[in-house]
Amino acid sequence: MDLLKGENPSLIPGVASSVASMGVFGAVAGGTIAAVSNSVRVAKGELSGPEAVSNIAKETVGTGLSTAAGMAAMRALGSGGILGFIAFFAVAGVVKTIWDSVASAPKATSE
């Protein structure tokens, strides 16, 4: 099957929608978990409200991106099962680690 010749035009939209759907699912799950844990920290006085909102936003975006990337890797391999599972979590873990390091990097100040 040659996707470039259009033999299966419904495959690409299916892949794109599953990657996007998993990204949204990951963002909702990550954001919900972050909201709960940050709310507890605010209630204990360990964190201010604006810091909590920032943390929640970073976690929501990072988890969504990493989930979508993991799903894209799994779909690119065209496999499910243990190989797909390993690919999903390997890529998602790498993307999340990169996101966390970029999102938590200190801001450069201009002098």
pLDDT mean values, one per 10 residues, the chain (111 residues): 47 66 93 96 95 96 96 84 89 96 77 53
pLDDT at 15: 58
What is the pTM (predicted TM-score) of this model? 0.77
> Which pLDDT value is given to residue 84?
86
Q: What is the pLDDT of residue 108?
A: 63
Show me where the domains of the chain are located.
9-102
**Predicted pLDDT at 98:** 96
Q: Quick one: which of 34, 14, 18, 12 has its CA closest to 96?
A: 34
Contact 59, 35 (CB under 8 A): no
Q: What is the pLDDT of residue 6?
A: 46
Give the model's pLDDT for residue 53. Answer: 96
Predicted local confidence at residue 2, as pLDDT: 46
Classify burial at 88, counting beta carbons within 10 Å of its beta carbon; exposed 0-12, middle 13-18, buried 19 or more: buried
pLDDT at 29: 95
How confident is the model at residue 80, as a pLDDT?
73
